[in-house]
Chain A
Amino acid sequence: MQHCSPEQLALAALREPLSATDAAHLADCAACHAEVSALRRGVDALAFPALAAPTTSLTPPPRVWDAIAAATGVSATPASHPTPVSHPTSVSHPTPEPAPLATVTRLQPRRNRWMAVAAAAALVGGVAGVVALTRDGSGQVVAATTLDPLDADDSSGTAEVRERDGVRSLQVDLEAPSLGEGYYEVWLLRPDVTGLVPLGVVHQGANVVPLPAGLDLGDYPVVDVSVEPLDGDPSHSGVSVARGSLS
């Protein structure tokens, strides 16, 4: 019995038609059939209509660009973009000077992004824009960041400040290894790490922690995730694994 060639089996996994001989063999040969099934798992995962090349062009609402500009600090605007509207807020953003670090792990360069955002906002008219990114049943996202791993840690995630009925909460989606002992805790830091607000224990996956009323996110824009030992000491362990700056 002549088996199908490896190349023919790959084409079969892609659902390309085979020659009559190959097709007849494949129908009867358990080994070749198993090979096609094994190759097809990858095909089925990726050759999926929603991932296909774009077919339709739709104009996104202007707030999509506003959010990109806010997150990147870019002040250029696309030619067709409507005149940007500033959203005055009560938040005032002092321009943080790089300062000597306190007891917590040094800041990653994301702080620069925050400063870029503040600078861009200042250019627009002296006020910082808080851009509504998304809106759904769990409230309006008023600020967000990705949480980037620090140094060699492979923890990462996202953090979003949501506001619903005037109450703010922080949603933290954390991708992090399981801890043998200890736990993860999320904090808000000043950019120069001269102050920090503990928000609570978080675990891998989705978490929602309430934010203290009146807390100025302009003062405490840095979301920090630390590993804390179970030692009864409520202060920051100094072991930060992921961080991002809200914008």
Chain B
Amino acid sequence: MTALEDRTDLYGHHVETGRTSLRRVTEPDDDDLARRFRDGDEQALAVAYERWSGQLYGMAVRAFGPGPDAEDVTQQTFIAAWTGRAGYSAGSGPLPAWLVGICRHKIADVWAKRDRQRRQSEAVAADVASRPGSHDDVDTRVADRVLLLGELDQLGQPQRGIIELAFFEDLTHVQIAARTGIPLGTVKSHIRRTLERLRTRLEVDGAALQP
């Protein structure tokens, strides 16, 4: 995708591709684009789509395969970002990383919806023939994901960036320290506190998800 020519990747790191594009001269850089997006410039939505829809659709296809769910997740991500653009701030990180965060929510929502539909159809089946097992239970992990993605949104920086590198880029704490320039001990204590926070959230609200 042309969007990544000598620009920054989804996490704001500079990517040297060796390619150049004449359009770079006239197109806004990512920060300028993010400002215009937040201010409601419609052209900024189109440029953001041009730049990052491929990455987001790639994520959605990885989760669901090509088809209606992947397309729906992609469009819902951009629609939610546009309608919720007032909630984007510089503290939210680079715009593409923010879009990826919304995309994760949309993916988790589709799983949760599928889980609900599964339980409903199984509940109907159970009326006909009662079967053993906990077939109508909420899939705990599906429910946990929705809950904890919401909790990640509540984290400030640098905690959020640190745990996202651990969870979503599979970096070790040593690699995270090297990538971010944050001291090793600080990275470790942030990881510890964030995992505790997620555990607490599950203990407080996870049970409430049970039917």
Residues of A within 8 A of B (CB): 6-7, 9-11, 13-14, 16, 38-39, 41-61, 63-65, 67-68, 71-72, 74-81, 113, 133-136, 173, 205-206
Contacts and interface: CB of A to CB of B under 8 A. Distances in A.
Given A11-B188, A41-B144, A43-B167, A54 B59 contact: yes
Interface of B: 1-4, 10-11, 23, 42-43, 45-47, 49-50, 53-59, 61-63, 66-72, 74-75, 78-79, 82-83, 100, 104, 107-108, 113, 116-117, 120, 141, 144-145, 148-149, 152, 166-170, 172-173, 188-189, 191-192, 195-196, 198-199, 201-202
Nearest to B69: A134
Contact of A60 (B53, B117, B167): B53
Contacts of B202: 41-42
19 contacts: A39-B196, A43-B167, A45-B148, A51-B107, A51-B168, A53-B11, A53-B169, A54-B59, A58-B57, A68-B45, A68-B75, A72-B83, A74-B82, A76-B43, A78-B49, A113-B83, A134-B69, A136-B68, A206-B113
Nearest to A16: B172
B170 A7 contact: no
Contact of A79 (B50, B169, B198): B50
Contact of A68 (B11, B54, B79): B79
The interface centre, meaning the residue of A60, A77, A135 with most chain B CB atoms within 10 A of its CB, is A60
Nearest to A8: B188
The interface centre, meaning the residue of A51, A56, A75 with most chain B CB atoms within 10 A of its CB, is A51
Contacts of A173: 113, 116
A72 B72 CA distance: 15
Contact of A11 (B45, B53, B173): B173
Contacts of A65: 49, 53, 75
A78 B47 contact: yes
A160 to B, nearest CB: 10
Nearest to A140: B68
B72 A74 contact: no
Given A39-B196, A75-B42, A54 B10 contact: yes
Given A57-B3, A78-B49, 19 more contacts: A7-B188, A7-B191, A9-B192, A10-B191, A13-B195, A14-B195, A42-B199, A45-B141, A46-B145, A47-B167, A48-B145, A52-B168, A57-B4, A57-B54, A59-B1, A60-B57, A65-B75, A68-B45, A71-B79
A143 to B, nearest CB: 14
Contacts of B141: 44-45
A78 B57 CA distance: 15
B75 A64 contact: yes
Given A16-B172, A68-B49, A74-B42, A54 B188 contact: no
Contacts of A38: 199
B97 to A, nearest CB: 9
Contacts of B50: 78-80
Given A45-B145, A46-B145, A53 B100 contact: yes
A205 B124 CA distance: 14
A134 B46 contact: no
Nearest to A10: B192
Nearest to A80: B50
Nearest to A9: B192
B173 A205 contact: no
Nearest to B83: A72
A10 B54 contact: no
B54 A60 contact: yes
